[in-house]
Structure 1
Amino acid sequence: MDTAVNGTTDPRFAGVRAAFARNFTERGERGAAVVVYRDGHRVVDLHAGTRDVDGGRDGTPWTPGTAQLLRSATKGVAAAVLLLLHQRGTLDLDAPVSAYWPEFKAHGKEDARVRDVLAHRAGVPALDRPLTPAEAADPDLGAAAVAAQAPAWTPGTDHGYHAQTHSWLTGELVRRTTGRSIGGWVADEIAGPLAADLWIGLPDEQAHRAGRVGPVEPPAAPGGLRARPKRAITEAYTDPASLTSRAFGSITPSPDENDPAYRAAELPGSNGIGTADGLARFYASLIGEVDGGTRLFTPETARLARTEASSGPDRVLVVPSRFGLGYMLHGVASPLLGPGSFGHPGRGGALGFADPESGIAFGYVTNGMQKGVTADPRAQALVAAVRSALDEPTSGA
């Protein structure tokens, strides 16, 4: 697909524009945007393609204000809420979850700590009875299901990606400690002060900005072959009884991600909506001031976010994963810019992260959901281009 790339790029990051264009010609991209900040200032702002994955009736083009479903990239925003509550003295990371949410201690979960929730160590990545999409959207039902769930392992002793249950774990902790929904908290305390287009629970008045998403097949590799996942990974995702399948299937049947009712729900593990600039601007505020103004994390909170809390074979993802407090760290499961990077991908495409050492904050969103959970080839091509730009000496050096 040969598509005109719109937007601006600092000359040093011209390679990002070239990589973005190749995503359309070589990697099956339909509509997407990428934004990069450095030291709190925007250096890349690109978009191309159509707002809707199928082009829509009139082929509405992607614009700078186009927003898209973030899937699990929403988890990075949700984590910031808990860490900011800790930063303000409202939430103790070392306290048991049940100190704020007494019902959660059922079935031997009384020792699960708040930091275990952020590090995917809480032991409840799946539900014995999956919730329907309508039930999942009800915060009371979702929280009650997680509280009543027996753990898959003793909380705090191992880790496994809480793909869907992360929504009710984080959302309920915010409700119990603040009396507010997590979507309302994000709107008032994060998106508002930052002037960032990010929502957990898309307002009706913003719905026209969100494009339709859908599955797209990546083009075949040279020779007509597609990369095949390892047998153990394939079995984990195809066996309905596996912890992997049960974790990702905690909402069953899969919700219609283009349904306005689903997008209006507040599921901080999976259904945030945002622009590439909103995502990048959010991460820029975690490591410094944005445009010389707002900063969300103190240096100490940023350190907590990226200090390794879980590492090794992931009980759900199967491959080794690394987590700080609420954020994936650079590694096999989620390659980022460098060893100090922290952020979160969304299954099938989206990616947001910050890299304090280089001052880089990155946001990529797409309407074409390809197979794969964490290391989308389109996002990785853009990250590699950013890395190359940083590695090149500046003129006159």
Structure 2
Amino acid sequence: MSGLVSEEVEGRPLPVGGFCEEAFAPVRRAFVENFTLRGEPGAAIALIVGGRVVADLWGGWRDRARSAPWQRETLVNFFSIGKALSALCALKLVEKGLADLDEPLARAWPEFAACGKEAITLRHALSHRAGLPAIRAALPDGAMLDWPLMIRALEAQAPWWEPGTAHGYHVNTFGYLLGEIIRRRMGVTLGTLLRDEIAGPLGADAYIGLPVAEHGRAAEFLWPEVNPPAPEGVMSDDVLMKWNTYWNPPGISGAGWINSAAWRSAEIPSTNGHGTARGVARIYSALANGGAIDGVEVIAPSLLREAVTEHSYGPDRILERVSRFGLGFQLPQPERTLGPNAGAFGHFGAGGSLGFCDPEAAVAFAYVTNDMGPRWQNPRNRALIEAIYLGLEGKG
């Protein structure tokens, strides 16, 4: 099953390419319906079952003007999908004996101990329990591109809550915390480690810090034209923490920068990873298989088991709803499942993008999009997940 489909969107033929095995026809149907029924502008999906690619589809348009169809090699900013990739990089340090999950970060990064952070561990950081989701001091727009500046700001920041006593999604600081430990212990950036020891050996098209030579493949991300207004009046500490998590510096979540060469080239590990659905699914295919595939070990099985063990579950200080995390991975919860099996794990990204695996079903899946769709209950990724299991049940 491949080629153009007969459906139209806004009176124009909908371009869809790739292939999908007949058994997984529900996946292809859900993918097409995302465009025809759910407003999808451009996207790609990849589904791997038992180590074999059974669906690799792309469709729609890679630009706001809808003049350039999405191609097989189109990649896109996948936002927080990168948190799971960043966690794998940090766990590589543990595997190499260069870090310990319960060792204070300040042992490798002495300046970090300032302002009551001397006991914060890598485990705290990976499970969103470090109390550092935001920077209080106002930073200029574009500061997120300056690694040393962001690191100094984190050094000077006191925890917003006592580390280890609660959790709150470290939306944009997560990657800086992990990346600085990697830099100090290995002398390389997080993006370099991802390329050299995970994505590269797997042949996975996924990057944190997109090489300039690859910029021409990047889809335009359709960031909303209007950003939310700042709360009026003097903000309480709690409101300031939540606001600054997303908007200090102003462009840290991508606003005003998302399609620029500077943004694409920088390493903002929580937020600006780029890749194809095929590349993300390839990494998860190793995780679905216990941490290794085709002779490439991404993570030792024992460490992977620790990483997908629940570390945080309950009210989230930032998201203001229940969230559930292992070490860098989101875990399924009743409000947002990853299929029917409790052992699935992965990470969603802004706009609804998703990478996950279900070891029980031997499934690895990724969905990437260039639209800022619903962040929480996203009908597009939900339809795709449901379709995967329909295919597995033989209900094509």
TM-score by length of 1: 0.89
Counterpart pick for 1:107 among 112, 115, 121: 115
CA RMSD of aligned residues (A): 2.2
Alignment of 1:114-153 (within 5 A): 114-153=122-161
Letter in 1 for 2:277: A
Letter in 1 for 2:392: L
Q: Distance in 1 between matches of 2:229 and 2:307?
A: 29
Give 1:216 deviation, angstroms: 6.6
Q: Residue 167 of structure 2: SS of its match in structure 1? A: coil
Q: Which runs of no fewer than 5 residues in structure 2 stay unpaired?
A: 1-8
Partner of residue 352, structure 2: 349
Give 1:148 deviation, angstroms: 1.1
Give 1:237 deviation, angstroms: 9.2
Alignment of 1:39-188 (within 5 A): 39-55=50-66, 59-188=67-196
Q: Distance in 2 between matches of 1:52 and 1:300?
A: 43
**Bigger shift: 99-108 or 258-267?**
99-108
Q: Distance in 2 between matches of 1:9 and 1:130?
A: 49
Label 1:248 to 1:334 Cα distance change in 2 as closer, same or farther (>3 A): farther
Q: Distance in 1 between matches of 2:74 and 2:19?
A: 16
Give 1:380 deviation, angstroms: 1.4
Give 1:291 deviation, angstroms: 6.6
Counterpart pick for 2:324 among 290, 304, 322: 322
Letter in 1 for 2:284: Y
1:369 matches 2:372: yes
Partner of residue 262, structure 2: 261
Letter in 2 for 1:348: G
Give 1:212 deviation, angstroms: 0.4
Deviations 1:76-113 (A, max 9, x none): 11011011221222221110111111111111111111
Identity among equivalent pairs (%): 42
Give 1:10 deviation, angstroms: 1.9
Label 1:281 to 1:91 Cα distance change in 2 as closer, same or farther (>3 A): same
Label 1:367 to 1:327 Cα distance change in 2 as closer, same or farther (>3 A): same
Q: Which runs of no fewer than 5 residues in structure 1 stay unpaired?
A: 218-234
Q: Distance in 1 between matches of 2:382 and 2:273?
A: 21
Q: Distance in 2 between matches of 1:375 and 1:216?
A: 18
Partner of residue 386, structure 2: 384
8 Å CA contact 1:346–1:374 kept in 2: the answer is no
1:247 matches 2:245: yes
Label 1:102 to 1:384 Cα distance change in 2 as closer, same or farther (>3 A): same
Q: Residue 209 of structure 2: SS of its match in structure 1? A: coil
Q: Residue 369 of structure 1: SS of its match in structure 2? A: coil
8 Å CA contact 1:20–1:382 kept in 2: the answer is yes
Partner of residue 18, structure 2: 7
Label 1:356 to 1:236 Cα distance change in 2 as closer, same or farther (>3 A): farther
TM-score by length of 2: 0.89
Partner of residue 284, structure 1: 285
8 Å CA contact 2:312–2:325 kept in 1: the answer is yes
**Bigger shift: 241-250 or 120-129?**
241-250
Give 1:282 deviation, angstroms: 1.1
Letter in 1 for 2:243: S
Q: Residue 20 of structure 1: SS of its match in structure 2? A: helix
Give 1:290 deviation, angstroms: 7.1
